Structure 1
Amino acid sequence: MKKENENTVYQQVISVWVRDPRIRKNDFWHAYIDYEICLHTDSVCFTKKISSVRRRYSEFVWLRQKLQENSMLMVQVPELPPKNPFFSLNNARQITERMKGLQQFLEQILQSPVLLSNSLLHLFLQSQLSVSKMQACAAGKTHYSVAQAIQRCGLRRFHSEEDLQKDLSMSCDSDSDSPECRDPEPQIKDLTLNKAASTALLGLMVTCQEENLSSSSDSV
Structure 2
Amino acid sequence: MCLNTMEGEEFITIRVQDPRLQNEGSWTSYIDYKIFLHTNSKAFTAKTSCVRRRYREFAWLRKQLQKYAGLVPVPAMPGKAPFHIGNSEDFIEKRRQGLQQFLEQAVQNMVLLSDSQLHLFLQSQLPVEEIEACAQGRRSYTATDAILDYAISNRGWTQEETLPR
Amino acid aligned to 1:141:
R
Q: Which residue of 2 aligns with 1:68?
A: 66
Q: Which residue of 2 aligns with 1:106?
A: 103
Larger Rg: 1
Change in Cα spacing, 1:150 to 1:26, as seen in structure 2 (3 Å) is: farther
Tell me by how many angstroms 1:85 deviates. Answer: 1.9
Change in Cα spacing, 1:131 to 1:13, as seen in structure 2 (3 Å) is: same
Q: Which residue of 2 aligns with 1:31?
A: 29
Q: What is the distance in 1 between the residues matched to 2:141 and 2:17? A: 29
Q: Which residue of 2 aligns with 1:42?
A: 40
Q: What is the distance in 2 between the residues matched to 1:34 and 1:134? A: 18
Q: What is the distance in 1 between the residues matched to 2:121 and 2:84? A: 24
Contact 1:33–1:89, Cα closer than 8 Å, also in 2: no
1:164 aligns with 2:123: no
Alignment counterpart, residue 53 of structure 1, candidates 51, 54, 78: 51
Change in Cα spacing, 1:88 to 1:152, as seen in structure 2 (3 Å) is: farther
Q: Which residue of 2 aligns with 1:10?
A: 8
The TM-score normalised by the length of structure 1 is 0.66
Q: What is the distance in 1 between the residues matched to 2:61 and 2:148? A: 20
Task: Name the count of aligned residue pairs.
Answer: 156
Amino acid aligned to 2:38:
H
Higher relative helix content: 2
Greater RCO (Cα-Cα under 8 Å, separation 6 or more): 1
Sequence identity (%): 47
Instruction: Mark the runs of 5 or more structure 1 residues left unpaired by the alignment.
Output: 1-7, 169-189, 191-197, 199-220
Q: Which residue of 2 aligns with 1:77?
A: 74
Q: Which residue of 1 aligns with 2:19?
A: 21
